[in-house]
Amino acid sequence: MAVSSAPASLNNPTRPLVSFSPSLYGNRFSSFRADYEMYLKTIEPVSSVKHLQPTRGNFHNLSSQEHIIYFKLFCRQTNSSCSFYGEDPMKNEKLLRGAKLDFNLLMMIHKEELCQLTRWLEELDLATKLPYVRKRMFENYFWAVSIFFEPCYSLGRIFFTKMVEILAITDGTYDTPMQFVPSYMDQLPDYVQICYKILLDTFKEFSDEMSKHGRLYIFKMTVRAYYLEAKWLNQDYVAPFEEYLANGAVSTGCNMLCFATFMGINTEDATVEACDWVKSPSKIVQALALNGRLYNDLRNYEDEKNREHVATSVRCYMKEHGVTVEEACSEIVRRIENAWKDANESLLKPTPVSMEVLRRPLNMIRMVHVTYKHEDGYTHPHNIKEDVAAMLIDPVPI
């Protein structure tokens, strides 16, 4: 429905600031340039390993024993896996060197993409225009690499990272109703105008892909979920647990990010049927959304009591069932475990989509666990510093 005038309540309010931990590495890679030729000159050729080609991730012919050196993807095991394989008396020395070379060259590709994304974020100038927004470019890209690390998915990683940043900006800003029409923008508060323009510019950049098969529709669903949470906060409303969970699963943005991963996979996999499968939503996507919401609420309950925030699942469950914090948290842990079971079950049954599509929400669930396994690693990124460094900062010694 079109809106002809802004609500009288707008009147250009000031957005309250919240103090968050800084990002891990700031703009460290804003001027990074990968010198592949110089790097290759510093090592011996590995051409005798015919089936292994650096940066291509071509390791289909490896034995199960040798495959372990590629299990570096998830976090701090990056370096330890090569070290573990290096101690094996039956190891293939050339294969080991080739795998290290392959991983380090791939890391250089990732750093170049980080350079491009860091510059994009610097051009947005969020520190000045939207100082309340968390700066999490490194952490967002860490998620993208964990979902699809291969060189051929560069566009997917860049788009995914931008979408996570857009969702973070929108989540932090969305305390005022707005419609998706440019003519309405001039009547919004200054900080909402800035957020709105970033949305429009980013969606314009990816307009063809975003409009395909309903991706914009999913984003609008996410924003409506943000608005409903803002409405509950303004009304001091504590929703029943299931009502909160139904909306909270959408406000995680996980459904939207599942669509964002389609930018990085083959067109024969990202079909209309696959998009409909995500929108349905499928069991594994539901498990992802529930894990994301419940893990976040579980780790942030104490912090959110000390700042203005909508009542989340712990508080909603406590009020509805008249139980203690410990009992509410036990129920949430039980639901997280059930969501994992649903995700695993989805991988064991026939689905209308390819394994290439299934792998994306699965890897996202894994990253939810990595990020929130002890504390909220997104709000307090020092908790995942070693994981990020192993994947994006520290090359494997050759």
pLDDT in tens, 165-195: 888 888 777 644 444 444 555 666 777 777 7
Measure the CA–CA gap between 170 and 174, rounded to whole angstroms: 6
The number of residues making up the chain comes to 398
- 118, 136, 164, 203, 232 from 16: Cα distances, Å: 25, 19, 22, 27, 17
Provide the pLDDT confidence category of residue 355 given band limits of 50, 70 and 90.
confident
**Looking at residue 299, what is its pLDDT?**
92
Percent of the chain with pLDDT over 90: 20
Q: For the chain, what are the domain ranges? A: 54-375+384-393
Measure the CA–CA gap between 46 and 91, rounded to whole angstroms: 15
Of 165, 247, 173, 122, the closest CA to residue 18 belongs to 173
For the chain, what is the radius of gyration of the CA atoms? 22
Query: In the structure encoding, which two tokens stand for residue 31, read together?
Result: 């001027």
**Looking at residue 327, what is its pLDDT?**
96
Question: Is the pLDDT score of 145 beyond 80?
Answer: yes
If you ran DSSP here, which 8-state letter would residue 153 be given? G
| pLDDT greater at residue 393 or residue 50 | 393
Provide the pLDDT confidence category of residue 298 given band limits of 50, 70 and 90.
very high
CATH architecture classification, 54-375+384-393: Orthogonal Bundle (1.10)
Provide the pLDDT confidence category of residue 209 given band limits of 50, 70 and 90.
low
Percent of the chain with pLDDT over 70: 69
Among 21-30, 203-212, 248-257, 334-343, top mean pLDDT goes to 334-343
If you ran DSSP here, which 8-state letter would residue 336 be given? H
Count other Cβ atoms within 10 Å, centred on residue 261: 26
Helix axes 93-124, 77-86, angle to 10 degrees: 170
Helix axes 137-147, 355-372, angle to 10 degrees: 140
Of 288, 327, 287, 332, the closest CA to residue 313 belongs to 332
CA angle, residues 355, 360, 361, in degrees to nearest 5: 105
Of 305, 284, 301, 304, the closest CA to residue 365 belongs to 284
Question: Is the pLDDT score of 16 beyond 80?
Answer: no
Peptide bond into 7 cis (omega under 30): no
Question: Is the pLDDT score of 247 beyond 70?
Answer: yes
Residues 20/379, Cβ–Cβ less than 8 Å: yes
**Looking at residue 314, what is its pLDDT?**
94
